[in-house]
């Protein structure tokens, strides 16, 4: 998904922040990710949370309404920011040119009571994004990402050196371009340049989204070259460009998100004709729009990054277990063919007097066969016929003992594979990095990973299960990982509550708290849809869901988190699309 956090969106953000934060007091600073922090600001008797992220995937800045867990120990950069800025007053917020660079100026006092001006520079530049703290002379105090010489020979970002803006391009600032200059820029553009490229190749802060808009209002395809436009089409292009620039200059914003089948396709702060009203949601502030777009997306991205190494380790373990299972099952088949070795031993013992000492094999009548068919038995010439008989007896006895061991090992291996399937499914369904942290703790407890000496348990910040309350006070609980599944089923649920789970596939345990009442059909169907959505079959259409009273659910003999056995159940078919989520409001319990 390519989203247009361009210079115009940045301008819209700055306009809002300037109106709401200037003259505000910096109250708190927390850094909950290595590349992201939240500054809490008190202004006009209101508290604002300014989120600034230098994430390579989702760099951004806006006022957020979301809450995140703060680390127990503050990172070094946070300590520097607190020392320099806490208690300071925001004096100004400006955008550099029309680019995705913002300067926040804060007046604060040092430990001696002297007042000085500091500046936060926010660079929203993809993988080069950064958050840099400067003194009033433009010297870098520190940055959330330090850039030494071996990372960039062109531009270093380190404490004590002078800050340099990212090298400016030969692009034009669209806000400052006159009508005559626009005509000249069009005339100087290469003949092959498309309308889509015209916007972002010539002007600072204009994204491909603006190029698509210009093509739309001109009535032509976005890959059409400017040189091929008729005079009327060219006039429409110029008119559309100037209309967009005028709206940005006047801070005439209509923040909106364009959706396609519930997925975010694009967003912008200007009213765009390419955004059809039927698929567009409008917001009363730029920050609310950006919070809607980025919060869940960033959480999922961070979860994906954290889960990558876990997934790789578990997939390798899963593959080895599959190979082990195949070998065990092959050995079991061999062990079940053991009776022939007892027959060999019995026949040899009964016919020792007939067998030559150095014979490589012997053919004897099989008195176990009703037809007394002859059977050939191979012999080891190093041993006497009697010793050969004893060796066949030992082989039979060994395979007989091995059978029970192999059956046990096969069951254990299958149980472990079942557990790993459930964990891998949970990883795929995880929507936040904290959920992955919870899962990592579980895997450490199960012995799949070792805890680093510096790594602490995530128990304090463990995510809680999801709780829904629907009509007539019925409560539905959904486990988000195997530990939660076990707690819900065996500690929270009462014997007459209803337990649901996707049939024969990994997924969440879902509990309907009945209060000893009959459960209406619509409540059961809602819970079944939740069980389908929070399963490995999410988004695959209709899914079979088993349900029974909790009293019929027993702990699994493998004693692995989340694994259970159940009986006396019924099956219901449920939709796994997640439409049920839109109908319900939930809280974490």
Signed CA dihedral, 350, 353, 358, 360: sign only: negative
Q: Please tell me the predicted confidence (pLDDT) of residue 566.
A: 95
Residue 452: per-residue pLDDT: 73
**What is the per-residue DSSP string for 48-87?**
EEEEEE--SSS-EEEE-----PPPSS--HHHHHHHHHHTT
- pLDDT tens-digit map of 169-217: 789 999 999 999 999 999 999 989 999 999 999 999 999 999 999 999 9
- pLDDT for 1: 40
Confidence at 94, pLDDT banded by 50, 70, 90: very high
Q: Which CATH class, in words, describes the domain spanning 174-284?
A: mainly alpha
The gap from C-alpha 113 to its chain's centroid, in whole angstroms, comes to: 46
**Is residue 454 over pLDDT 70?**
no
Asked whether residue 80 carries a pLDDT value surpassing 70, the answer given is yes
Q: Are 120 and 133 in contact (CB under 8 A)?
A: yes
Whether 377 and 355 have beta carbons less than 8 Å apart is answered as: no
Q: Name the band, by pLDDT with cuts 50, 70 and 90, for residue 519.
A: very high
124, 10 contact by CB (below 8 A) = yes
User: Residue 71: its pLDDT value, please?
Assistant: 80
402: tokens are 């091995």
Which residue's structure tokens are 């400017």?
226
CATH architecture entry for 7-143? Roll (2.30)
CA 356/CA 252 separation, integer angstroms: 107
Kindly report the backbone phi and psi dihedral angles of residue 503, in degrees, each rounded to the nearest multiple of 5, phi listed first.
-75, 120
- Using the Cα atoms of residue 413, residue 415, residue 419 and residue 421 in order, give the sign of their dihedral: positive
Q: Report the range of poorest mean pLDDT among 50-64, 337-351, 498-512.
A: 337-351
Is the distance from CB of 550 to CB of 540 less than 8 angstroms? no
Q: Give the percent of the chain with pLDDT over 90.
A: 66
Q: What are the tokens at 352?
A: 């020792």
Average pLDDT value for residue range 386-408: 89
| Number of Cβ within a 10 Å radius of residue 75 | 16
For the chain, give every domain's residue range. Answer: 7-143, 174-284, 307-462, 464-588
More confident call, 401 vs 288: 288
What span, in angstroms and rounded, lies between the C-alpha atoms of 469 and 476? 6
d(CA 111, CA 263): 50
Query: 3-state DSSP: the chain helix, strand, coil percent, rounded to 5?
Result: 40, 25, 35
Percentage of residues in the chain having pLDDT higher than 70: 96
Residue 79 confidence (pLDDT): 96
Q: E-strand spans in 427-507?
A: 466-470, 474-478, 498-502
Token output for 527: 């819970």
pTM equals 0.70
Residue 67: predicted pLDDT: 82
Mean pLDDT of 6-20: 97
- Enumerate residues 6+ apart whose C-beta is below 8 A from 23: 43, 89, 90, 91
> Are 7-143 and 174-284 the same fold in CATH?
no
């Amino acid at each position: 998904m390519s989203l247009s956090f361009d210079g115009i969106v940045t301008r819209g953000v700055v306009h809002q922040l300037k109106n709401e934060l200037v003259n505000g007091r910096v109250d708190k600073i927390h850094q909950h990710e290595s590349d992201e922090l939240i500054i809490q600001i008190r202004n006009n008797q209101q508290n604002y949370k300014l989120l600034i992220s230098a994430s390579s995937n989702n760099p951004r800045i806006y006022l957020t309404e979301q809450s995140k867990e703060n680390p127990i120990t503050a990172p070094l950069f946070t300590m520097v920011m607190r020392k320099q800025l806490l208690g300071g007053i925001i004096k100004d917020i400006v955008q550099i040119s029309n680019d995705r660079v913002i300067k926040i100026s804060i007046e604060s006092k040092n430990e001696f009571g002297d007042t000085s001006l500091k500046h936060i520079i926010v660079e929203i530049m993809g993988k080069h994004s950064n958050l840099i703290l400067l003194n009033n002379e433009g010297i870098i105090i520190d940055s959330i990402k330090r850039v030494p010489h071996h990372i960039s020979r062109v531009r270093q970002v380190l404490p004590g050196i002078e800050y340099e803006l990212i090298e400016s391009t030969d692009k034009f600032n669209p806000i400052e371009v006159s009508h005559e200059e626009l005509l000249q820029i069009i005339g100087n553009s290469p003949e092959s340049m498309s309308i889509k490229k015209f916007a972002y190749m010539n002007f600072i802060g204009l994204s491909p989204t603006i190029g698509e808009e210009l093509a739309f209002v001109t009535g032509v395809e976005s890959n059409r070259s400017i040189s091929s436009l008729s005079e009327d089409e060219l006039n429409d292009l110029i008119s559309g460009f100037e209309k967009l620039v005028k709206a940005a200059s006047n801070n005439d914003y209509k923040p909106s998100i364009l959706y396609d089948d519930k997925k975010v396709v694009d967003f912008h702060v200007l009213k765009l004709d390419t955004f059809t009203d039927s698929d567009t949601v409008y917001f009363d502030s730029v920050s609310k729009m950006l919070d809607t777009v980025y919060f869940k997306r960033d959480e999922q991205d961070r979860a994906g990054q954290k889960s990558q190494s876990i997934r790789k380790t578990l997939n390798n373990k899963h593959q080895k277990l599959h190979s082990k299972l195949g070998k065990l099952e092959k050995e079991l088949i061999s062990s079940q063919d053991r009776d022939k070795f007892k027959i060999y031993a019995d026949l040899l013992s009964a016919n020792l007097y007939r067998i030559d000492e150095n014979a490589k094999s012997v053919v004897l009548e099989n008195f176990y066969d009703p037809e007394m068919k002859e059977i050939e038995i191979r012999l080891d010439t190093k041993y006497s016929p009697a010793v050969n008989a004893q060796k066949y007896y030992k082989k039979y006895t060994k395979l007989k003992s091995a059978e029970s061991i192999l059956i046990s090992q096969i069951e254990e291996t299958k149980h472990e594979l079942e557990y790993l399937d459930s964990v891998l499914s949970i990883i795929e369904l995880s929507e936040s990095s904290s959920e992955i942290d919870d899962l990592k703790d579980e895997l450490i407890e199960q012995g799949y990973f070792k805890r680093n000496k510096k790594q602490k348990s995530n128990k304090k910040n463990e995510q809680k299960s999801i709780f829904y309350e629907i009509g007539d006070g019925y409560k539905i609980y959904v486990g988000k990982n195997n530990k939660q599944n076990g707690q819900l089923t065996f500690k929270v649920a009462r014997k007459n509550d209803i337990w649901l789970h996707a049939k024969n596939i990994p997924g969440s345990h879902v509990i309907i708290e009945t209060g000893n009442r009959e459960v209406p059909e619509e409540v059961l169907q809602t819970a079944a849809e939740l069980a389908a959505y929070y399963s490995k079959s999410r988004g695959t259409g209709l899914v079979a869901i088993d349900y029974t009273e909790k009293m019929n659910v027993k702990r699994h003999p493998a004693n692995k988190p989340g694994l259970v056995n159940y009986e006396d159940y019924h099956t219901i078919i449920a939709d796994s699309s997640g439409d049920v989520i839109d109908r319900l409001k939930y809280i974490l319990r």
